[in-house]
């Protein structure tokens, strides 16, 4: 396994692409779709004795542009098969209107129209990924991706994205974590519609915390994350993530003490200096924690004119 560090235009910094030099030659994630990233990826493959045209499979952990953008280009050059969860494949379908899908939940959060315009008016630094005219295979939880000298177990671990997929090598005890487990930050529980329950919002934080419990039971020797360096203390990272979310719960409960606020008002208090698309990410963080606290019975909510208001 070789880690290839590919630049992105995002604040999160470079993304990691992993080359599995076993038959069939496989990439885990592909990097963003821009000329700089493509040049770095192709140069690193050459230095490792491979070529883009040699790639036979591309496993995509999730459809965010920094992870999946170059998949189509590589697949068209090499004939490689793209493997990904069907819910992530849907996020790459041009007929899926991601803004329209999330809009009801943004309205329910109490976001003013002027702020919506700022949020949605910021153009993404990368084009929307697609795998049009590529050979695609769908992955589901507990599938096995076989190699000449081993296999990777597929783990569906949502929370950051509906079909987020991680991979585990039981022999080498290596965990390819995508954005599920990172050494320096916790992933954002993005507001998403539930693909199995039309009209409902995904319980993203509940999914993520359940995923942490699942991963905690594995015997992992090395974590290969989507961003940042490879690390060994996976239980330490799991505990850091848990502590972060517990801190967020306490912050929200303190803010609601004796008050009634909607999700947008809370996000403004917790993250007062966000602009553009970051407003949506901050809102997602707060909404996910509110949903979890409601389910636990630690807070309640009511609706007024289509906006939800929460109280402790």
Calpha distance 124→257 (Å, rounded): 37
Contact partners, residue 294, CB within 8 Å, separation at least 6: 300, 301, 310
Contact partners, residue 308, CB within 8 Å, separation at least 6: 108, 109, 110, 262, 263, 301, 302
In tens digits, the chain (312 residues) has pLDDT values of: 999 999 999 989 999 999 999 999 999 999 999 999 999 999 999 999 999 999 999 999 999 999 999 999 999 999 999 999 999 999 998 888 988 999 999 999 999 999 999 998 888 889 999 999 999 999 999 999 999 999 999 999 999 999 999 999 999 999 999 999 999 899 999 999 999 998 899 999 999 999 999 999 999 999 999 999 999 999 999 999 999 999 999 999 999 998 999 999 999 999 999 999 999 999 999 999 999 999 999 999 999 999 999 999
111, 284 Cβ separation under 8 angstroms: no
Cα 243–Cα 246–Cα 251 angle in degrees, nearest 5: 125
- Supply the pTM of this predicted model: 0.95
Cα 22–Cα 3–Cα 171 angle in degrees, nearest 5: 50
Bridge partners (DSSP) listed for residue 222:
174
Calpha distance 37→245 (Å, rounded): 33
Contact partners, residue 277, CB within 8 Å, separation at least 6: 119, 122, 124
């Amino acid at each position: 396994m070789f880690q290839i560090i590919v630049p992105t235009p995002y604040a999160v910094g470079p993304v990691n692409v992993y080359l599995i030099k076993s038959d069939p030659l496989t990439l885990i994630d592909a990097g963003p779709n821009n000329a700089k990233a493509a040049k770095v990826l192709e140069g690193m493959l050459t230095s490792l004795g491979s070529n883009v045209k040699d790639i036979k499979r591309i496993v995509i952990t999730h459809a965010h542009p920094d992870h999946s953008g170059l998949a189509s280009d590589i697949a068209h050059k090499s004939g490689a098969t793209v493997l990904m969860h069907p819910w992530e494949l849907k996020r790459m379908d041009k007929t899926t209107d991601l803004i329209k899908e999330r809009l009801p939940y943004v309205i329910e959060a109490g976001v003013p129209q002027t702020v919506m315009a700022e949020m949605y008016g910021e153009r993404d630094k990368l084009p929307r990924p697609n795998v049009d005219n590529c050979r695609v295979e769908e992955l589901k939880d507990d599938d096995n991706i076989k190699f000449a000298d081993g296999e990777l177990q597929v783990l569906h671990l949502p929370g950051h994205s509906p079909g987020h997929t991680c991979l585990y090598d039981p022999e080498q005890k290596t965990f390819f974590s995508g954005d599920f487990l990172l050494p320096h930050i916790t992933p954002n529980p993005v507001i998403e519609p539930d693909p199995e329950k039309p009209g409902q919002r995904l319980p993203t934080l509940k999914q993520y915390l359940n995923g942490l419990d699942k991963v905690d039971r594995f015997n992992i020797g090395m974590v290969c994350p989507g961003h940042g360096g490879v690390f060994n203390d996976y239980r330490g990272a799991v505990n850091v993530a848990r502590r972060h979310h517990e801190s967020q719960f306490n912050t929200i409960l303190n803010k609601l003490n004796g008050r009634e606020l909607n999700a947008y008002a809370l996000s403004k208090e917790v993250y007062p200096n966000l602009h553009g698309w970051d407003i949506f990410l901050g809102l997602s963080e707060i909404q996910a924690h509110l949903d979890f606290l409601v389910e636990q019975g630690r807070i309640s909510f009511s609706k007024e004119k289509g906006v939800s208001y929460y109280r402790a």
